[in-house]
Amino acid sequence: MEHARPARAPLGDGARRGERQARVNTGGRRLTMKSGINIVVCVKQVPDTATVRKLRAEDSTIDREDPNSSGVLNELDEYAIEEGLRLKEAHGGEVTILTMGPAKAAETIRKALAMGTDKAVHLMDPALHGSDAVQTSYAMAQTLKKIGFDLVILGSESTDARTGLLAAMLAERLGVPQLSLANKVVVDGSAISIHRVTDYGYDRVESSLPAVVSVVEKTNEPRYPRLKEIMAAKKKPVTTFGIADVEIDPGRIGLAGAYTEVAEFAVAPPRAAGVVVKDEGDGGVKVADFLTSKKFI
């Protein structure tokens, strides 16, 4: 198993960050936070869910250039960003946005920065194209080890692939506690506690930092960027890394080396046209007749 290790090259404001980054390699020991929490929020640009989304015929990957299905910030990530900002406001520190994606994903980074986050890291390399979940988690974990963190926050899933795998995979790869599917997150010093949503209610789960957290929809009310912040976002630092910058082995990423492959895909056939009737005082009875004919009653 791989373990988180401190970064070699701090991004931006050197000394202060270096101090925080050193905390990644704590092996679960309790520490006192001196300079707030170093929070990294992972975000993804996804096709707009209000549009018809497509796979590319040539390699069965999601068409991220389709002008009819423009890329937007995965809406579940907004809850992760908001949670990061709230924790920073309560405890100090900073919030770094991390995304992996093509050049176009820079739009999503700006949106995330406009919500009030401090800076961003964009992992961008043509070799990453077509990476599946196992490979993506490797690339993201390598980047997180490089930039350092106390707390990694993700949305519970992306609205495009909807695998819901990444938080668990990152925790596994980084060797840090997994505090996932949370609808409440509380940090106290170097301890963290969440409410993990379950079918029967919730589990209260605790660990020490560093940790990986995922949050569910409605954990909080994500803020809207204000004009001033939208302007300020344009000046915030964005570091772009290629795979060599974060020591990603090119043999472990990309479509050619993927762990899964799409054998074939097809647009789902439309459902056969049904019967629609106007209510003339007996609409409920007509539905009941239909349900009876289908043996539901």
- Give the footprint of another protein on residues 22-61 (CB under 8 A): 28, 49-55, 60
> Binders of another protein among 103-162, rule CB under 8 A?
132-134, 137, 156, 159-162
- Name the residue nearer to another protein (CB basis): 177 or 254: 177
Would you count residue 13 as binding another protein (CB under 8 A)? no
C-alpha span between 180 and 187 (Å, rounded): 14
- Return the range that interacts with another protein (CB under 8 A); candidates 83-91, 96-104, 112-120, 285-293: 285-293
List, in order, residues 6 or more apart from 111 with CB less than 8 Å away.
73, 225
Per rule CB under 8 A, is residue 296 in the interface with another protein? Answer: yes
Pattern 77-106, binding to another protein, x per CB under 8 A?
------------------------------
Q: Do 138 and 2 meet the contact criterion of CB atoms below 8 Å apart?
A: no
Q: Which residues contact 231 (CB under 8 A, 6 or more apart)?
A: none
- What are the tokens at 238? 């964005």
Per rule CB under 8 A, is residue 172 in the interface with another protein?
Answer: yes
The single residue among 84, 148, 177, 225 that binds another protein, judged by CB under 8 A, is 177
One-letter amino acid of 185: V
d(CA 97, CA 41): 5
Q: Does 271 bind another protein (CB under 8 A)?
A: yes
Q: What are the residues whose beta carbons fall under 8 Å from the beta carbon of 254, sequence distance 6 or more?
A: 127, 128, 129, 130, 131, 135
Q: How far is the CB of 72 from another protein (least distance, A)?
A: 12
Q: Is 8 in the site for another protein (CB under 8 A)?
A: no
